[in-house]
Structure 1
């Protein structure tokens, strides 16, 4: 069921307000007797210095993700990391999670090779409340639903710590804001063709140009298609098409329309594996092969389709202020049919119980943001201010049916259930249909004030949230219907004091709060859970070189989260409870540098001490959270037109359970890359190059993480060779 008709009234209101934005601002300008000089931001800021533009190399200069204000990264009193398109290409990242492998405080490989959902953890918070993802500052999907290929993005920005003032209902670990590719004045074009192991094949294009002689209409088309084998006949493939059009109506008003279509007939797999077999051998002495993906490769499938359409209207007043109105409608539909692991415990002889299930999930999401941003002076203070409101309406539906544990499976014998046996299994042990309707409205104000060398960033926000949940159970222990509504509202805020020493060094001290309404019913079907609320203290420092090519950052943080809610699934039964308060303290160090014309570098170290403050496991560490992570990636020009890269990553040990009795070993991985400019070989190859990338070069076998006795294997060696041509 797709109740899209519920979004029609909200969509009509927002479309009408957009018309008023364009027409109203133009009429206001026409009636104003004082003629003001136009402010044309895009004409004065180089592309690699714009907050939403492309970046050459690994060092971004600007960002607006932290406060919805365009600020230099080196002067932003918050922890923000920017992964550029060049870094994504050089490292061969095929998912957003892969792209964050060298980002401090971020654990993107939580699910290892089970990469259909990017359940990314930051600063110790993940699992059910994995960090929220945004595209161009607006919500996309939810924490474990929705995935877009990184080919679509100019940059991926990570804002660490509570960010409710800018983004509303989000976990305190932080947010990921993915900035899409849109028409640019540079109008660079690129095509690429790639081959890799596992029969990987890819073709991509990124094309842009003018549609009229004056350049008032500019287009961009981002397209990608790839396919690879996972195990036997088990495939994964994707097609992405994303056109956009920018209309410069005047020197002050610009409208960009975007669309996206991503089709995945075979989206991959999302399975579980037992502790015995992943971390230790099974009872009959087997360690599961890293190439093992599915218990029924001829039957399992995940089919996913993502579509989105939106616009961005911006009007620049002549006094330095800008009015922005953004809106996007997104539809995600995913169907999964699979043979899964019923119990992580075997029968003592290495035989495990499997079950059959079918899951269908859909989401229709309307999100919008209207803001007024500008610079002004008052009482000797220089201000950069953003004031606005955002809106989110999301309808989600889930249909789920399953059997109990009905198949016996041995990793030694690999006695896969046959298609006839699977089709004969009656999925009537448990049947449910769940719908959730979320509506959130928030108003916010953020102001970056500077007085001499002192800076003060303050922000305040108020949110109203309503979630209506309907759960229908046709069979199983909870047969019947549960209906309940959560109504929550909260004020959140932030304050950050900084001092610029004038030599590139800026220390800061910040405090921020966040809240996150719970959108699940308790085990009795009631809406009894309190909103999860958090606060963070952060002491940090940033240093930037005079030319802006080296950015070093460091931060100490202390996050406390109250009313935390956890869900645990064992043998098909899920229980949910609130366990009181938890704490996460840590340190993060990060470097992005173009050290010289020959050397580029990205490095990080993070220490995260995340533990329970209350409950039965007081003092114990969170499960599936590595305490220590570190990495360094270096790109070196060995000769004219030839760049070699080497990366080293360390992920420390983690606990599999809340009782801290099962420890998952840490692991070390090696990545590498080589880029060769082909133009010296032939003038006709100008703009062409070959790029070779390898992740987990030594094909290390490791457990990426475990939750209780359910585990995931890390991704094995991934190698690709890509021919690119740019003009």
Structure 2
């Protein structure tokens, strides 16, 4: 390979982080080095051998091509850690393997390194971490959401929060919303949390945060009308929250970010798990998770996960049942090709309760006292929710050579749901017995909503890893396509019987009618390019995307129809520097767009709403330690927001603007083998900077300016009678926020702090030595504190959950 030529190297691109750490030192401090997998690589060219080891193990490596030119590697065959396999391949080459603070591989002359010489050995253990795989503990070091490549979290010039499987389990999360409670910048509360039939968190003040499953968009019905898939957290390996605009890789989106849920996948390591659950509210649950090779060669791998539960709610008459089954199969006919087929089916039934209550009686006492947290304001014989959902798809990858890899990710998702209930009212009415407005009786609003949504998405990627001089590249060229259809039929009772909020009488008839429907179709085709560049300690991410989007909005009964076509370019750029001590500062800029349906007073279709973010931050991952800290400051501006047209009543104009500024701090650490910590603080100021509806200068309701959380857990190990016992304690703080968008009816939601707890007992480590058996109890809201979590108006307030206990008995073998 002539030095003067610019050509791709044989080695995968490394996103290097900080200074090099000798392998032997890392082997003593980093638990990931002890994880092993099977390698079978014939003797041959050293560069090709190292490239195959890096690709197989999900490692990234950056070297000068001339260092490996003409050198040979011995056969690498056996059960090794990736680092052991690479060091074995380097025997006799005069080179040693060196590892940066972020886990990136590089090579150094033998005189500068500390060689690790290993003979053939057999070691059992879990495979090394990759961006889509399992993580031991709370600290994930790699992400596939932020760049669509297997990248170190240190080299993502944007905030990325990762909730691991271990964290989901430790917190006792029964939904994705609950799993995000200790994540900075994510706020919940309100209708979706209290009803619990779908997840709709807010990120950096923008709602709803779009949900993705394995990198592809899920159907969304639009707020409280339903029509959204809810993914059971037991099916997930990790949850990744990408903060800020992300249209460059994912197309149309809100500017606050997105949430990507990563499914459990087939594994080379056999998995056999059974779980039985109980708890408060008559919870009865069961789950299973099986996986592993189907043949001796490991060519076929499988995973079969399922769960179900039946429980009541803390609100009177509320109940929920679920059954879900998720199979997947991976076929690897050779080292270059991998195909994974996957799907899931889920059925939900229950009696929900919307629970929107007036501020008087919840936040403030009325002449009648406070409304009970368990109050059911619907009709037990009317309220019901039924949902059927499923997905099926595949992921295919093929390595053409040492430079190019082709990938395709495709999925079809479907949801059909039906929601019936009297919702909260809009005003108090006089007491029908006394004729006095004693703030006791309230109007209601009856709905009977049916919605069927389906989404087909496909993402085609060509990925290249190569060097130009001393600059390493990971280049993506992608084309994705997204087609969504949403059909809705709503029936209404706009004047159902009133209800006594303090002594309700049920069984009053409902009269649904006045139908309204829509049949909306959205298509989007996007062409995107991204390059991750690395030279020395610098890294640079550049991306651009051009989208063609079309939205058909139909209201057949009303006879309305509109068609909006948009084209939009979005960009992204981020620059960072990795110091040798693990400190990585960065700056970035990113954009988003979101098509809007409808027209202005002149009949002109609305332009897409746009988002722009500037972010700067510092990420820190101490070398040799299993910990990660990130601090970021940001400003997001969303423009082209719809607001009333002051010159044309009943129409909207696009002069509105919403700005979000904030600071986020997150730290996660497995301080020892038995002590873990999760901590976060988020300061967020969301303001209407331009608005024609009287909200300019005000904060959106339900967006707290400050949230903070802390979780600690400790497990007794060693030769002690308490061995196997685990204890966890957490606190979540939310500062006072506005309960209304408008000044004329302004009120505040008081600050609150909620405590959570966990007790577990691993009987395998206990004196009983029961292999694979573990019991765990989680308690949310230990004090059973009565508090209001969110209000969107003075008649739409929501209590937070009371004390909830869940217990689980798990058996692994």
TM-score, scaled relative to structure 1: 0.89
Find out whether 1:622 has 2:700 as its counterpart: yes
Shift in CA distance, 318/90, structure 1 to aligned 2, threshold 3 Å = same
1:565 and 1:624 map into 2 onto residues whose CA distance is 20
What's 2:268 paired with? 185
Residues 511 and 535 in structure 1, CA contact (< 8 A), matched pair in contact too: yes
1:124 aligns with one of 205, 221, 226: 205
Give ranges in structure 2 of 5+ residues lacking alignment: 1-46, 60-125, 431-436, 645-649, 717-721
Which residue pairs with 2:759 in the alignment?
674
Partner of 1:235: 319
Counterpart for residue 25 of structure 1: none
Match of 2:96 in 1: none
In structure 1, the residue matched to 2:616 is 539
Q: CA deviation at 1:525?
A: 12
Shift of 1:679: 2.2
Give 1:35-74 correspondences, 5 Å limit: 39=52, 41-43=55-57, 47-74=127-154
Match of 2:229 in 1: 146
Q: Report the counterpart of residue 133 of structure 1 in structure 2.
A: 211
Cα deviation, 1:244-272, whole Å, max 9, x if unaligned, reads 01111211111110010010022744442
Name the residue aligned to 1:289.
372
1:677 Cα deviation from its structure 2 partner = 0.9
Residue matched to 1:24: none
Does structure 2 retain, via aligned residues, the 8 Å contact 1:171–1:515? yes
**Match for residue 299 of structure 1?**
382
Change (3 A) 1:523 1:307: farther
Quick check: 1:592 aligned with 2:592? no
- Pairing 1:427–2:512 present: yes
Partner of 1:26: none
Instruction: Note the alpha carbon deviations across 1:247-304, whole angstroms, 9 max, x for none.
Output: 112111111100100100227444422222222234x423222223442123200111
Instruction: Select the residue among 454, 459, 466 that pairs with 1:376.
Output: 466
- Return closer, same or farther for 1:108/1:291 CA change in 2, 3 Å cut-off: same
**Cross-structure match for 2:750:** 665
Give yes or no for contact 2:268–2:293 (8 Å, CA) kept in 1.
no
Residue 325 in 1 paired to residue 325 in 2?
A: no
Alpha-carbon offset, residue 318 of structure 1: 2.8
Q: 5 Å matches for 1:43-122? A: 43=57, 47-111=127-191, 112-122=193-203
Aligned to 2:578: 500
**How far off its partner does 1:109 sit?**
2.8
Q: Which moved more, 1:352-361 or 1:216-225?
A: 352-361
Kindly provide the CA deviation profile for residues 164-199 of structure 1, in whole angstroms up to 9, marking residues without a partner as x.
Answer: 111111101000000001101223221111101000
Residue 495 of structure 2 is matched in structure 1 by 405
Partner SS for 1:685: coil
Q: In the alignment, is the contact (CA less than 8 A) between 2:58 and 2:129 conserved in 1?
A: no
Mapped to 2, the partners of 1:525 and 1:295 lie a distance apart of: 42
2:634 pairs, out of 526, 533, 557, with 557
The residue aligned with 2:238 is: 155
Cα distance, 1:140 vs. partner?
1.1
Task: Note closer, same or farther for the CA distance 1:575–1:192 as it changes in structure 2 (3 Å cut).
Answer: farther
**Per-residue Cα deviation, 1:228-259 (whole angstroms, up to 9, x for no partner):** 11244431111110000111121111111001
Let me know the Cα RMSD of the aligned residues: 2.1
- The CA deviation at 1:522 is 5.8
**1:119-518 superposed matches below 5 A:** 119-126=200-207, 130-142=208-220, 144=223, 145-230=228-313, 231-266=315-350, 268-282=352-366, 284-347=367-430, 348-349=437-438, 350-416=440-506, 418=507, 421-422=508-509, 425-428=510-513, 430-473=514-557, 480-518=558-596
Please tell me whether the aligned partners of residues 137 and 177 of structure 1 are also in contact (alpha carbons under 8 angstroms). Answer: yes
Cα deviation, residue 682, structure 1 = 7.3
**Contact 1:355–1:407 (CA under 8 A) maintained in structure 2:** no
Q: 1:263 to 1:577 in 2, by over 3 A?
A: farther
Q: Per-residue deviation at 1:575?
A: 9.2
Q: Which residue of 2 aligns with 1:611?
A: 687
Measure the CA separation in 1 of the matches of 2:655 and 2:363: 28
Q: What does residue 716 of structure 1 align with?
A: 802
Structure 2 distance, partners of 1:689, 1:242, is: 24
Describe the shift of the 1:345–1:166 C-alpha distance in structure 2 as closer, same or farther (beyond 3 A).
farther
Distance 1:180 1:412 in 2: 44
Offset of residue 410 of structure 1 = 1.0
* Cα distance in structure 2, aligned partners of 1:517 and 1:609: 25
Q: Work out the CA distance in 2 between the residues paired with 1:137 and 1:718.
A: 32
Larger radius of gyration: 2
Say whether the 8 Å CA contact 2:426–2:444 is kept in structure 1. yes
Q: Give per-residue Cα distances to partners, 1:431-462, cap 9 Å, x unaligned.
A: 11101011011111111111211111111011
Asked if the contact 2:737–2:749 (Cα under 8 Å) also holds between the matched residues in 1, the reply is: yes
Q: Do the aligned partners of 1:342 and 1:405 also contact (CA within 8 Å) in 2?
A: no
- In 2, the alpha carbon distance for the partners of 1:150 and 1:133 equals 13
Residue in structure 2 matched with residue 13 of structure 1 by the alignment? none
Q: 1:470 to 1:205 in 2, by over 3 A?
A: same
Aligned 8 A contact 1:98 1:109 in 2: no
Deviation, structure 1 residue 355: 3.1
Instruction: Check conservation: 1:116, 1:267, Cα contact below 8 A.
Output: no
Structure 2 Cα separation of the partners of residues 109 and 412 of structure 1:
23
Distance in 1, Cα, partners of 2:137 & 2:604: 49
Q: Alignment partner of 1:657: what SS?
A: coil
Q: Is the 8 A contact 2:305 2:327 kept in 1?
A: yes
1:693 maps to 2:795? no
The alignment covers a number of residue pairs equal to 670
**What is the CA-CA distance between 1:384 and the residue it aligns to?**
1.6
Residue 350 of structure 2: SS of its match in structure 1?
A: coil
- How many angstroms apart in 2 are the aligned matches of 1:566 and 1:667? 33
- 8 Å CA contact 1:286, 1:411 repeated in 2: no
Q: Using structure 2 for the length normalisation, give the TM-score.
A: 0.79
Q: Retained in 2: the 8 A contact 1:273–1:344?
A: no
In the alignment, the residues of structure 1 paired with residue 629 and residue 524 of structure 2 have an alpha-carbon distance, to the nearest angstrom, of 37
Q: 1:579 Cα deviation (Å)?
A: 5.3
Q: Distance in 1 between matches of 2:238 and 2:402?
A: 30
Q: Gaps spanning 5+ residues in structure 1: where? A: 1-34, 474-479, 568-573
SS at match of 1:113: helix
Decide whether aligned partners of structure 1 residues 500 and 181 sit closer, same or farther in structure 2, where only a CA change above 3 A counts. Answer: same
Q: Deviations over 1:35-91 (max 9, x none)?
A: 976836344657452000011110001001111121111222110010011111111
